[in-house]
Amino acid sequence: MPTDIELHIPVEAEVMAVDLLVGHCELSRTRLKQVMQSGAVWLTRAQSTKRLRRAKAELRPGDEVHMYYDAATIDSQPPPAQMIADEHDYSVWFKPGGMYTQGTKWGDHHAINRWVERHIQPQRTAQVIHRLDRHTSGLIMLAHSKAGAAGLSQLIRDRQIEKCYHAIVEGEFGAPGDQRRLDTDIDEKQALSWVSVLAVANGRSLLEVKIETGRRHQIRKHLQGAGFPIVGDRLYGEDAPEGLQLCAVSLAFVSPVDGSPKRYETPLALRPKL
């Protein structure tokens, strides 16, 4: 059986989605249904392109179906996320390292928004509000209503959410209690991180990092630039068996829904340890 397939099929007559795909590839009907449920099949109708999950969906002439099949992606199973709080309009989850924040054209069953949609009760749509790198663990918020999405997005734009991370780095960053400001521009944009030493042992340091800006890979770049790459950072340092030792440990803000102060924390057992 093929391990990867990319199809772009114009629809010329009314047909059921799975029947169209069966006629254009070697995958079984059962496998194709799995591929569709995994979010690897797309439907273009008029000016809109969306994932096509229903095997029995009726297609019309003028539609176009796209399939991006990668066997390894379809068969991969993400580590489970853990709910921290359900606030109805939004929820907060612990995303384990290795789980994607969002899907790709090759599927979305391995992304946290789809994982939450399939596991939260009562079931709701889940919109990602902010991102965590795939290999970064920790707290992430998902909105379940327009009000939740709009309110949280505004807080992020206004920098009204306090984000705190823990990281283990190679080297002795300083003595416990020492603090340092890292403000090297990232991608020619202002970036500011505040770093405090929590502990030092065995040639490594456990750091608390608070960020005032949210540039891509900001913490990883700032720490690597200071000479202290994060343990397990394959992009800016070296790989390690324990994986990337960077975790979003707390989020604090005033709820845009009811105006109450909120603080969410990653359980101690899930945080990086020296």
- Active-site residues: which are they? 133
Q: Which residues of 247-259 are buried (b: 16+ CB within 10 A; e: fewer)?
A: bbbbbebebbbee
Contact 259, 205 (CB under 8 A): no
Contact 114, 120 (CB under 8 A): no
Q: Which residues of 149-168 are buried (b: 16+ CB within 10 A; e: fewer)?
A: bebbeebeeeeebebbbbbb
φ/ψ (deg, to 5) at 44? -100, 120
Spatial distance between the Cα atoms of 220 and 232, rounded to a whole number of angstroms: 11
HSE-up (13 A, CA, CB side) for residue 30:
0
Contact 127, 101 (CB under 8 A): no
* 3-state secondary structure (DSSP) of residue 133: coil
